[in-house]
Amino acid sequence: MSKYDIIVLGSGPGGYVTAIRASQLGFKTAVVEKENLGGVCLNWGCIPTKALLKSAQVFEYLKHAEDYGLKVKDYEHDFEAVVKRSRGVAEGMSGGVKFLMKKNKIDVIEGFGKLKTGKKIDVDGKEYSADHIIVATGARSRELPSLPQDGEKVIGYRQAMSLKKQPKKMIVVGSGAIGVEFAYFYNSMGTEVTIVEYLDKIVPVEDDDVSKQLERSFKKSGIKIMTSSEVTSVDTSGKGVKATVKTKKGEEVLEADLVLSAVGIKSNIENIGLEDVGIAVDRDKILVNDYYQTNIPGYYAIGDVTPGQALAHVASAEGILCVEKIAGQHVDKLDYGNIPGCTYCSPEIASVGLTEAQAKAKGLDIKIGKFPFSASGKASASGAKEGFVKVIFDAKYGEWLGCHMIGAGVTDMIAEAVLGRKLETTGHEVLKAVHPHPTMSEAVMEAVADAYDEVIHL
């Protein structure tokens, strides 16, 4: 039996980062992976979807070339080539993780891992032991009873990014990050897209103003949006799909080539030995303490299988914190109130902290500032005037409670707010920090200035 200090079960952005940090700390480390190094994020999620979205963005540029004083006579998209490029990007990134495993002297054990008592893992019949075992098995597309996925006419995100033929009509069920990103991609490529959302607004976790702006932008681009609506059944017996949708006005039947189910995720916790070891689980999540220890000594869990936000950067941060704690380092528990969320449709969405509604629900006295990109010189020059930056501060102490952005490139701007909140920056300090001009990021400063009645360019 091979013996390690740490074995990580799963090699997604939680697992492989955890393994690398463990190796850096001097632990003899192995990672168990049943499919591809990098997990869903690198192979079927974060990375390949961004490649698809980039192709869509370039295609949009071509369609609007005349807006920039350019004439492009002949252009068209090759859907198969777009998908092929995306898969190539994913394969390259997965190969990069393989290189990192070798560089950091981490053993990669291929196969399906199952936890055993006594700090052991069985991988396809062969046992391995470790002083510490970290579960990082991630999640998959969740299926609704009314929307069973057959992989052909009712699909999840995996099939959505590797279709051989572009659909003429598509119904997207769910308007979280996955739903709106694919809605934007397929709409940009020329597919007729309808979004069906159960709640009363799209991107429901975002600030109300952001949700309203995205709905305006999507409708302008031709995407049909149905909120407060629910797909109660699907009929796949014909050539395409007939989806029965329950709305406030009654039932409506939508016809399309296929339905994309984007209604959330399901943790991968089945058949990995949790029950055999006695690890506590509640509502599809492994229960852990602030340092990701389960109720059984020597067993840990991070990422999508735990109750925190199901985001790649959260899984990575949890894994690093977990192994640093194992190494005896002093670590502060993760602040889940300061985790940025990013959605890569167009316009992009980025946010951190409290929404306006959440701040008011807490009874806080707040200052709100908002700066539209239509008043930004850089945005105007770039032809990207949609959207805004919205900031929320505590009126008494100046604490930066929340920041919400929608517009071009905002996913690269949100880190300023995350760092500012981490350092307990006040609104006055942000306002007096000189921002470069002309940039999209100076909209943050202008939004703060608006909150304090000092805005210049609005």
Picking from 182, 170, 347, the residue whose alpha carbon sits closest to that of residue 243 is 170
**Residue length of the chain:** 458
Closest-CA residue to 125 (of 137, 147, 138, 109): 109
Would you give the DSSP letter of residue 171?
A: E
Helix, strand, coil in percent for the chain, rounding step 5: 35, 25, 40
Q: What is the DSSP letter of 207?
A: -
SS3 readout for 227-264: CCCEEEEEECCCCCEEEEEEECCEEEEEEECEEEECCC
Strand ordering across the sheet containing 230-235: 230-235, 241-247, 250-256
The order of strands in the sheet holding 348-353 is 341-343, 348-353, 400-407, 388-394, 366-372
Known catalytic residue at 313: no
- Among the listed residues 64, 428, 437, 457, the single catalytic one is 437
SS3 55: helix
The separation between CA 270 and the C-alpha centre of its own chain, rounded to angstroms, equals 23
Q: Distance between CA 368 and CA 358 in Å, rounded?
A: 13
d(CA 229, CA 179): 15
C-alpha 366/C-alpha 81 separation (Å) is 50
Contacts of 66 (CB under 8 A, 6+ apart): none
Rounded-to-integer distance, Cα 171 and Cα 182, Å: 10
Structure letter (DSSP) for residue 436: P
Spatial CB neighbours of 91, under 8 Å, sequence gap ≥ 6: none
DSSP class per residue in 74-101: -----HHHHHHHHHHHHHHHHHHHHHHH
Catalytic residues: 437
